[in-house]
């Protein structure tokens, strides 16, 4: 975690924020997250990334499911769809299929994505729907007040695992790589500058981009994915990591003794819209 070394004055900070332009992407609704939540860092990063990419708010849609992370669209001054638990990806697929001019950013938490919504991820990935999926992973169910999630570590104590969690956690990066996601990266809420760069690259990627963000839940996790623990275990991917090499990405994704952040894999292939356009051309020729 960053140490504050010099005094920060509120007036200076406000002026700086206003000048940055990122407020354009913030709605009048104040975030409902707990003070210290890593999600503030992610929403800050998304706003910055959108500012720097120059996205038009009217052509941007934030889609989410249910959970702490999924409240995100309310805090954004873009179009938003706060849908159902686990169903953000198919809703976003429908939006993108119907209007491919829109920039679609999907956000969700680890439970929303990998528990109830796990069946949709392979299909969004293999179809290469041109959307960005930002996964806020805090390894716990926050909105229902602290239950185990599919990314909770073994031995994690929660209200539903009072005698410790015995379920093996998933490896989301391995899953996404094997599902055929064309862009896979990991970032950490405690590294906001890197995080912003990753969000920019994810949105910029043409095709399905998956950004896994490690983000502490300061309220319901005092032992596992805390800032302190993550600060120690997060390292950048090695400089010589080749993001065009799927095998190398899979090997990197299997490193468990520390968490590596950066772009694991990046490739270009036709998107779902490309495929649908091609089908349409073929149909018109045979008609």
Q: Provide the binding-site residues for another protein, judged by CB under 8 A.
A: 27, 29, 57-63, 66, 73-74, 76-84, 87, 89-95, 97-99, 101-102, 119-120, 122-123, 272, 276, 279-280, 282-284, 287
Minimum distance, C-beta of residue 79 to another protein, in the bound complex (Å): 4
Of 74, 106, 79, the residue nearest 92 (C-alpha): 106
Cβ proximity to another protein: between 99 and 223 the closer is 99
Q: How many CB atoms lie within 10 A of CB 259?
A: 18
Q: Which is nearer to another protein, 91 or 198 (CB)?
A: 91
Specify the residue, 69 or 237, whose C-beta has the smaller distance to another protein: 69
Smallest gap from residue 28 Cβ to another protein (A): 9
In the complex with another protein, the residue whose CB is nearer, 94 or 236, is: 94
- State the minimum distance, in angstroms, from the CB of residue 188 to another protein: 27
Nearer to another protein, 82 or 194 (CB): 82
SS3 of the chain: helix, strand, coil, percent, to 5: 40, 20, 40
Instruction: Give the residue among 207, 186, 183, 200 at the shortest CA–CA distance from 55.
Output: 200
SS (H, E, C) 192-240: HHHHHHHHHHHHHCCCCEEEEEECCCCCCCCCCCCHHHHHHHEEECCCC
Pick from 272, 277, 281: which is nearest to 131 by CA?
A: 272
């Amino acid at each position: 975690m960053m140490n504050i070394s010099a005094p920060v004055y509120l007036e200076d900070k406000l002026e700086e924020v206003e000048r940055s332009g990122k407020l354009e992407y913030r709605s009048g609704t104040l975030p409902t997250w707990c003070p210290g939540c890593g999600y503030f860092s992610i929403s800050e990063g998304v706003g910055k990334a959108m500012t720097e990419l120059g996205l038009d708010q009217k052509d941007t849609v934030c889609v989410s499911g249910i959970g702490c992370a999924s409240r995100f669209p309310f805090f954004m001054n873009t179009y938003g769809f706060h849908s159902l638990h686990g169903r953000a990806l198919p809703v976003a697929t429908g939006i993108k299929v119907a209007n491919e001019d829109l920039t679609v950013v999907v956000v969700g938490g680890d439970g929303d994505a990998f528990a109830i919504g796990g069946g949709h991820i392979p299909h969004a990935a293999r179809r290469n729907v041109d959307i960005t999926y930002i996964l806020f992973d805090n390894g716990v169910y926050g909105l229902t007040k602290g239950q185990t999630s599919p990314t909770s570590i073994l031995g994690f104590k929660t209200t539903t695992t009072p005698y410790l969690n015995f379920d093996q956690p998933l490896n989301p990066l391995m899953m996404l790589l094997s599902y055929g996601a064309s862009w896979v990266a990991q970032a950490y809420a405690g590294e906001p500058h890197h995080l912003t760069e990753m969000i920019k690259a994810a949105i910029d990627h043409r095709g399905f981009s998956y950004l896994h963000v490690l983000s502490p839940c300061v309220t319901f996790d005092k032992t596992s994915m805390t800032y302190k623990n993550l600060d120690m275990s997060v390292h950048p991917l090695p400089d010589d990591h080749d993001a065009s090499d799927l095998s190398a990405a899979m090997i990197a994704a299997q490193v468990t003794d520390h968490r590596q952040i950066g772009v694991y894999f990046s490739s270009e292939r036709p998107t779902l819209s490309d495929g649908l356009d091609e089908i349409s051309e073929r149909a018109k020729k045979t008609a």
